Amino acid sequence: MEPSSPYRPRVSRETRLLLTAGVLAIAALWLLARIRFQERPVTPNPVPSVLSQLASGPKYDDLAAEIARLQTRLEPSLLALDVPSAVLGSLQVSRRIVALRLHDDLAVTLLPAGSNPELWSDSRVLARDRASGLLVVRVAGQVPRSPPIPWTPRRPPQQPRYLIASDVSSRGVSLRPVFVGSLDPMDSALWSEPLWAVPGRSDLAPGSFVFTNNAELVGLVFAHGGEPVVMPGATVLAEADRLLNTPRGPAGTIGLEVQALTASLASVTGAPAGMVVTWVEEDGAAAGQLIVGDVIEAIDGRTLATPQHWDVRLARLLAGETLTLRVRRRGEVQEVALTAAAAALQPVSRALGLTLRGRTGIGAEVVRVERGSAADRAGLAAGDVITLIADVPAPTPAQITRSFASFREGQYVMIAVTRGDAHHVMPLEP
């Protein structure tokens, strides 16, 4: 009897064909990888080599190269300007900001927070918006070029995206990527066109210009209520053109002060919205027509929905311009026309010029700033909180007054100021 042969499982023809095809596919991938990536060394195991060579590598180098190319492309359009920010005795202090070239010798930029706009009254400044701080300045000429192309979103701006923002240093202007979670349209009293609100975590600084990776101008970053907002590129260019074509003239005033309408004041006056008159100059444009307690509900037919609407309109008021006010007085509504007078130049005063109230454990809040005073020249404004003066943290109003008085003319005292969510350091000169 013959011994039985060992059992051998039968492999079907289909299985053999499948295994053969798999081996041939791996060999083909390896061969293609060697042809495509000839500069890479051969590895003992072809499978991980093929997978690693065909997979996408890190994108950081690609991003850096893209920003470098964009820097070269935008270099003629982005300028670093040294501009005056303060005067300390006989020394003028400057700071560096970014400007965007509009034409060969014109550029647009933003007045930095805390700067004294009067220091910018030189031949370089061709136009200025007193409400927003937008400036059109003359710069060194260059080969004529077209203005940058404004960005037109091809998908909803609320979607997250990477943008390219400008930075400035002693070496000049540089670019960096910024992740923006969303660009949400929002209305503002500053312009009729909507702005784009961005999350506070977006690391966008006021004064920065923002671009796409195709060098399209997304816009200019502003601070709005302590949060960054972007003025769209088309609005930036249109506003710069409007400023250049608007006749320049002295600032106007109608000689009154107002405050926001609170809920309790609204119940007393019966006004749904507006600003309450708190003071009227005896010889101002409003004398004899407005009284303390009047509520200004609208200017030139536009309802004063927020205090900012009032601030913006008054900031842009020119001497000789006529305002039509809708005024509510003791339940009755009437229209009042006021012609703005030229704002008188305030004499320079060495007085501190601050009305303050204490904020326990924080410092002192600015209630009012006298025109022409040391505080006015330093750029302080109502609502600022002084958190440090000299070496005194969280100073009381009395400590601020005493510290300022201890300095002689020509010296200066450094103060720290909180304005909204932003923090600044500025000098006070007696």
3-state secondary structure string, 234-274? HHHHHHHHHHHHCCCCCEEECCEEEEECCHHHHHHHCCCCC
Query: Residue 116: which of 369, 367, 365 has the closest Cα?
Result: 369
Question: To 10 degrees, what angle do helices 46-54 and 13-36 make?
Answer: 60
CA gap 321, 319 in Å, rounded: 6
Q: Which tokens sit at 343? A: 């704002």
Q: Which tokens sit at 384? A: 């600022």
282 with 263: CB under 8 angstroms? Answer: no
Can you say how many angstroms the Cα of residue 3 is from the centroid of all Cα atoms in its chain?
94
352 with 389: CB under 8 angstroms? Answer: no
72 contact partners, CB below 8 Å, separation of at least 6: none
Q: Which tokens sit at 146? A: 């077209």
Query: Residue 414: which of 115, 383, 424 has the closest Cα?
Result: 424
Backbone angle region of 172, left / alpha / beta, with phi > 0 → left and psi within -120 to 50 → alpha: left
| Whole-angstrom Cα Rg for the chain | 32
The DSSP bridge pattern shows strands 134-138 and 172-180 to be unpaired
The count of C-alpha atoms lying within 13 angstroms of the C-alpha of 201, restricted to the half-sphere facing its C-beta, is: 4
Domains for the chain: give ranges and CATH numbers.
Answer: 26-55 (no CATH), 57-250 (2.40.10.120), 252-342 (2.30.42.10), 354-428 (2.30.42.10)
CA gap 135, 142 in Å, rounded: 19
End-to-end Cα separation, the chain, in angstroms: 124
Q: What is the pLDDT of residue 1?
A: 47
Query: Tokens 């927003």, residue?
Result: 132
The DSSP bridge pattern shows strands 385-389 and 392-393 to be antiparallel
pTM of the complete model: 0.67
Query: Tokens 């305030």, residue?
Result: 346
Per-residue pLDDT of the chain (430 residues; tens, 9 = 90+): 455 555 555 656 666 777 777 777 777 776 666 665 555 555 555 444 544 544 554 566 677 888 888 888 888 899 998 877 654 444 556 788 999 998 888 999 998 876 666 666 666 888 889 889 999 998 887 765 666 799 988 777 788 888 999 999 888 899 999 998 889 999 988 888 899 998 867 788 899 999 998 899 999 999 887 788 999 999 999 999 999 998 778 888 999 989 888 888 888 888 988 999 998 988 889 999 999 999 999 999 999 988 889 999 998 999 999 999 999 998 899 999 999 998 776 566 778 889 999 999 999 999 988 877 888 878 888 889 999 998 899 999 999 999 888 887 767 788 999 987 788 888 887 7
CA gap 186, 132 in Å, rounded: 16
126 contact partners, CB below 8 Å, separation of at least 6: 106, 136, 137, 138, 243, 244
341 with 285: CB under 8 angstroms? Answer: yes
CB atoms within 10 A of CB 128: 18
Q: Is 310 helix (H, G, I), strand (E, B) or coil?
A: helix
Query: Residue 278: which of 262, 263, 295, 266 has the closest Cα?
Result: 295
Can you say how many angstroms the Cα of residue 213 is from the centroid of all Cα atoms in its chain?
20
